[in-house]
Amino acid sequence: MKINFKVENKLNWCVNLMNMKFNDIVNGVAAGTSAYQLWGSVVAIERGVIHIAGLRSLARIGDRVEIHGQVSSFGEIIAIRDEFVLAMPDSSMNGMSPGDRAYLHASKEVRPSNAWVGNVMNCDGVYADGQLTPQGERAMMLNPLGPSITGRRGLGERLNTRMAPFDTFLPICKGQRIGLFAGSGVGKSMLVGELAKGMEADIVIVALIGERSREVREFVTEILGAEGRARAVVFASTCEEPAPSKRRCALMAITAAEYFRDQGLHVLLLFDSITRFADAHREIALTAGETPSLRAYPPSTFRAIASLAERTGPGAQGSGDITAIFSVLVAGSDMDEPVADMVRSILDGHVVLDREISERGRFPAINIRRSVSRSLPKAASDDENALLAEARVLISAYDDASAMIQTGLYATGSDPVIDRAIDVWPRLEGFVSEQAESCAVSFEKLKTTLTPPSQSEDESDL
């Protein structure tokens, strides 16, 4: 058999040209620069997930699909199987049916802008009121790696929070990451709002994940107020939104914080709450087929939380820092439940809000004895650390003897430490609720608080 090499070469050239053209189309669609659209077909809808055929070799985890049924809706690809891909919808699946087309949209890059400051954003980085959203020049990914281990700086200087307990017992340093652990209705959102308004920072990024829409509006207009909004960007994904939207909103907030950090600014990230983020991750992972573990949280939950937290903290040389405060919704005040235990092991400190303290009317309802900042003792001077140690001894002594004191069984003079704790307790309670202009002023107030009343009167007479 004779082979016409000229014909064979032409055939090979045509095949190669077709492959190149197809790859150009696929890459163009993935980059969002092609006029072509790739689509598959819905083959099944069950258990809150959509099965789509025809996109298996083209789609990637995290890509978006636009489903054209009775009503157009979007979804996010969460798993890729042998013959189809799985997508979780962003809205109700009512009206969808097998045979609907599912158009592939590649994962969008985010382009944060300085013009976002003062606005409320949704999970797609769009103004929540529907107005045209400015886009920055720099494209950023939603899921990059954090700063390298060797390139990251250590914690910076102690920050002024204008709140006495944080300026003394629980200092927050630049680049530190702490957790606010609280049950529902204990004053967590109020405390987050106070920190957003008063804490030292250039830009404040607020992530409200899984909150009720009424609470979001109340937080923005009343708790944060005009003063707080002037330097803040608020990202909100309410409780009725699907799990992919909540997770995307969290990642969007972190990405915006990184954008401002890379400009050399000090960013305060207030994340409320990381529990809702973990719940969203659990729903997505279980739907994708991951094996459940303790309280149905899959093994990947720890890594998801750790990856989120590691993107915050001190920046690399030449950039700013992200000081992060993550709220943790603790069911039944159980500090050993899975998410609380994971977060406590990752962060640089934990602040416990106590329901019993809240019920007796003290705000913030911080349980000083159970709360820790890992920036101590380095964040304070020797004299300040001695003052804090003295105060903690008195707080512990009063807590241990509180049952006897309240029932009248304690006899004055039985223990000099308890006697002194009883003497200063009302002023210590008041001190935790105080505000101050600086850390130095807060420590002066604490020193005055620990001074016995008789000694204070003698000094004032002099």
Q: What is the pLDDT of residues 207-230, one digit of tens each?
A: 999 988 888 988 888 888 888 888
Query: What is the per-residue pLDDT for 93?
Result: 84
Mean pLDDT of the chain: 87
Question: Is the Cβ–Cβ distance between 170 and 319 less than 8 Å?
Answer: no
CA–CA gap between residue 29 and residue 26 (Å, rounded) = 5
Q: What is the pLDDT of residue 259?
A: 95
Tell me phi and psi for residue 381, to 5 degrees: -80, 175
pLDDT digits (tens), the chain, 462 positions = 444 444 445 455 454 545 554 455 555 554 444 445 788 999 999 888 999 999 988 888 889 999 998 888 899 999 999 889 999 998 888 888 999 999 998 777 889 999 999 999 998 888 988 788 899 999 998 888 777 778 888 899 999 999 999 999 999 999 999 999 998 888 888 898 889 888 999 999 999 999 888 889 888 888 888 888 889 999 999 998 999 999 999 999 999 999 999 999 999 999 998 999 999 999 999 999 899 988 889 999 999 999 999 999 998 888 999 999 999 998 766 777 889 989 998 999 999 999 889 988 889 999 999 999 999 999 999 999 999 999 999 999 999 999 998 888 989 989 999 999 999 999 999 999 999 889 999 999 999 999 876 555 555 454
Give which of 127, 157, 107, 117 is closest to 263, Cα–Cα.
117
Residue 454 has a pLDDT of 59
For residue range 393-439, list pLDDT tens digits in order. 999 999 999 999 888 898 998 999 999 999 999 999 999 999 988 99
- Write down the pTM of the prediction: 0.86
Write the DSSP string, 310-354.
Answer: HTSEE-BTTS-EEEEEEEEE-GGG-TTSHHHHHHHHHSSEEEEBP
In this prediction, residue 13 carries a pLDDT of 46
**CB-based contacts of 180: which residues, under 8 Å, 6+ apart?**
188, 191, 192, 325, 326, 327, 328, 351, 353
b or e along 447-458 (b: 16 or more beta carbons within 10 Å of the residue's beta carbon)? eebbeeeeeeee
Can you give the pLDDT at residue 424?
Answer: 93
Question: What pLDDT is recorded for position 148?
Answer: 76
- Residue 271 burial by CB count (10 A; 0-12/13-18/19+): exposed, middle or buried? buried
Q: Quick one: pLDDT at residue 446?
A: 94
Q: What is the CA radius of gyration of the chain?
A: 28
pLDDT of residue 15: 47
φ and ψ at 456, to 5 degrees? Answer: -65, -40
Cα separation, 408 vs 395, in Å, equals 19
pLDDT of residue 453: 65
